[in-house]
């Protein structure tokens, strides 16, 4: 095309554009590409075609639109065809089965239909949810039906222009190596859109719904540890918002099943809507996303506020502090409290025998490991991504007992019959935890302070820097290179003692110069650990165009009266660490 050759585009971009314009793609798609060429929109053409979408820590995720690097019916169908090809190679001679779910995002239902059609066109039995459902329920469904794989169409908490495709293996967990890379290799082998089977086989697609909800709810409720406390505190005032997402389908019903009778849903955010009209980002990490819920909680004088993201695998909470004001907890605080509650309630019930364990990620607070050790329970660390937590559960199945686990990014899990972070499950147990504390004459905020006094006051912070497109990816790569080449030697007046480089799978003791291997797969993460226990982690996101910096500091807390002073001192320390690193 003459207009295309006149643009200053890289050869790979031109090849991919020409492939789509000459291939068996629909006319609407081709016209969109031609319009970008006519407008000489080289930046958009480059971002859309400079590479293929790849599986990261959460599968495929990207902005919706035309192109090899965008979420659209062809990239989704290609991923499904590649996954189908891989399943056939992995389970020869078996009648393959998959489950499919989707959330409230724009196009999620249509993308789920395309996914179901492609699987069924390949002779694979499909269990497709009738309407939107939480991601963790998809994990449950895979295990419930004995499926070989599964897919959920969601972009989790990303802005409304995004969508995604999370692929699962037969244990109900998101894919880890070698399956994730093998599927991408299968996708890359697809030379033409004509190799993708798009004509579905309706006889192989079974619609599922409320019968699975019932099984999932009953199984989760069977894990409850403090049923008597809930009964006594059944009027606990709970405000819940699904932020226009899939949580509305199951969370209120789950809370009711656990025994909570005073649950108030934020009506303005109760309807599923992929435009997320009441928030900028449908992310429970963001204060703005909980604004309406906190307003309602103030009116009701509620005990607890909970918000789930669009696919209901992550939950954010707010509780009343010592001044009677609603305070948002970060992911480390909620995760620590949940593990503290589980360890305490299991001990009270006489359920700790020495074979139990919890799991967290390497960027999640070490307070969890300290508490586990104090209770005689093992703690396992994993790389970032819940699929690695699920991998530990799989490897220890039948040998040790999983109590719970989580990661700082607001993802938690109690019990092992789901193999992904589960906000539906977590909402129920967070409410149970508040009831347990209230039954003892305490609040969750007071319980948190008590936890810090007993096991150390840990405080964490996170900075995310967004770098979009191809140039952004290159900038992030350079930032990591600079950190490797010129690591910090001191932060906030404390010497760096150890550097952990997960990309090169080594850890170096700076005091002795000794280098040892790290017991993890290769991952682009750097950690710096200081003499005073300060920990800094740098990690490019696997699902978003971001680089994330995690900061953890800690101090002893001797009494409740010291809390505010130590809290302020830790805040100042984090600010100094950030300043010393020159990140902001």
Kindly list the catalytic residues: 156
Taking CA atoms, 551 is separated from 201, 282, 348, 533, in Å, by 51, 24, 33, 11
Let me know the angle formed at the C-alpha of 256 by 406 and 346, rounded to the nearest 5 degrees: 45
**DSSP tally for the chain: helices H, then strands E:** 19, 23
58 contact partners, CB below 8 Å, separation of at least 6: 156, 164, 166, 174, 385, 542, 543
What's the N-to-C CA distance of the chain in angstroms?
Answer: 45
> 3-state DSSP call for residue 101?
strand
Here the tokens at position 335 are: 């995760």
Here the tokens at position 390 are: 């699920």
CA-to-CA distance for 550 and 475, rounded, in angstroms? 19
Across 249-329, the runs of DSSP E, i.e. the strands, are 263-265, 304-308, 315-320, 326-328
- For residues 334-370, b (16+ Cβ closer than 10 Å) or e, as one string? bbbbbbbbbbbbbeeeeebeeebbbbbbbbbbbbbbb
289 contact partners, CB below 8 Å, separation of at least 6: 243, 279, 281, 282, 283, 307, 316
183 contact partners, CB below 8 Å, separation of at least 6: 55, 79, 82, 83, 86, 167, 175
At residue 295, φ and ψ (nearest 5 deg) are: -60, -45
The dihedral of CA 13, 17, 20, 26: what is its sign?
positive
CA-to-CA distance for 114 and 322, rounded, in angstroms? 52
**Burial category of 194 from C-beta neighbours within 10 Å (exposed 0-12, middle 13-18, buried 19 and up):** exposed
CA 159 vs. chain centroid, Å, equals 15
59 contact partners, CB below 8 Å, separation of at least 6: 164, 165, 166, 167, 174, 175
Does residue 178 have a cis peptide bond before it, meaning omega lies within 30 degrees of 0?
yes
Helix (H) or strand (E) holding 542: none
Here the tokens at position 323 are: 């001044």
Here the tokens at position 196 are: 């993708």
Contact 452, 542 (CB under 8 A): no
């Amino acid at each position: 095309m003459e207009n295309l050759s006149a643009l200053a585009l890289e050869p790979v971009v031109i090849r991919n554009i020409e492939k789509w314009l000459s291939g068996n793609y629909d006319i609407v798609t081709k016209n969109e590409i031609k319009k970008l060429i006519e407008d000489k929109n080289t930046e958009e053409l480059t971002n859309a075609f400079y590479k293929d979408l790849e599986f990261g820590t959460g599968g495929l995720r990207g902005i919706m639109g035309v192109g090899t690097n965008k979420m659209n019916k062809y990239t989704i169908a290609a991923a499904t065809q590649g996954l189908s090809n891989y399943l056939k190679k992995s389970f020869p001679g078996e009648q393959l089965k998959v489950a499919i779910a989707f959330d409230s995002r724009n196009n999620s239902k249509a993308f789920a239909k395309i996914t179901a059609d492609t699987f069924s066109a390949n002779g694979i039995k499909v269990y497709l949810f009738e309407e939107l459902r939480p991601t963790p329920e998809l994990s449950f469904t895979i295990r419930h039906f004995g499926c070989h794989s599964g897919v959920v169409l969601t972009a989790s908490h990303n802005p409304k222009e995004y969508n995604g495709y999370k692929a699962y293996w037969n244990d109900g967990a998101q894919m880890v190596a070698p399956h994730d890379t093998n599927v991408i290799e299968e996708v890359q082998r697809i030379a033409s859109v004509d190799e993708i089977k798009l004509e579905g086989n309706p006889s192989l697609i079974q619609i599922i719904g409320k019968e699975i909800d019932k099984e999932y709810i009953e199984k989760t409720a069977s894990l409850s540890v403090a049923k008597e406390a809930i009964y006594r505190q059944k009027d606990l005032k709970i405000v819940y918002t699904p932020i226009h997402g899939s949580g509305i389908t199951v969370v209120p019903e789950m809370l009711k099943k656990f025994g909570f009778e005073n649950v108030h849903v934020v009506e303005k955010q109760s309807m599923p809507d992929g435009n997320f009209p009441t928030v900028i980002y449908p992310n429970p990490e963001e204060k703005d996303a909980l604004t309406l819920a906190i307003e309602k909680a103030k009116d009701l004088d509620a005990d607890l506020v909970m918000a789930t993201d669009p696919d209901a695998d992550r939950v954010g909470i707010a509780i009343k502090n010592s001044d009677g004001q609603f305070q948002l907890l970060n992911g480390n605080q909620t995760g620590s409290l949940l593990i503290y509650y589980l360890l305490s309630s299991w001990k009270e019930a006489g359920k700790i025998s020495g074979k139990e364990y919890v799991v967290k990620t390497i960027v999640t607070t070490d307070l969890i490991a300290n508490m586990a050790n104090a209770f005689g329970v093992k703690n396992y660390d994993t790389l970032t991504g819940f699929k690695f937590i699920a991998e530990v559960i799989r490897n220890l199945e039948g040998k040790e007992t999983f109590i719970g686990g989580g990661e700082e990014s607001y993802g938690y899990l109690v019990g092992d019959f789901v193999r992904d972070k589960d906000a539906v499950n977590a909402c129920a147990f967070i409410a149970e935890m508040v009831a347990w504390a209230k039954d003892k004459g305490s609040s969750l905020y007071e319980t948190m302070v008590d936890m810090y006094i007993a096991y150390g006051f840990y405080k964490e912070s996170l900075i995310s820097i967004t770098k979009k497109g191809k140039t952004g990816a290159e900038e992030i790569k350079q930032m990591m290179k600079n950190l490797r080449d010129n690591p910090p030697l001191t932060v906030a007046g404390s010497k760096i003692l150890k550097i952990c480089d997960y990309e090169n799978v080594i850890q170096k003791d700076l005091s002795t110069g000794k280098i040892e291997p790290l017991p993890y797969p290769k991952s682009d993460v750097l950690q710096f650990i200081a003499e005073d226990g300060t920990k800094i982690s740098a990690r490019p996101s696997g699902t978003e165009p971001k680089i994330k910096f995690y900061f953890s500091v800690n101090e002893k807390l001797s009494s409740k009266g010291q809390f505010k002073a130590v809290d302020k001192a830790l805040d100042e320390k984090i600010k100094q660490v950030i300043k010393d690193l020159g990140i902001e």
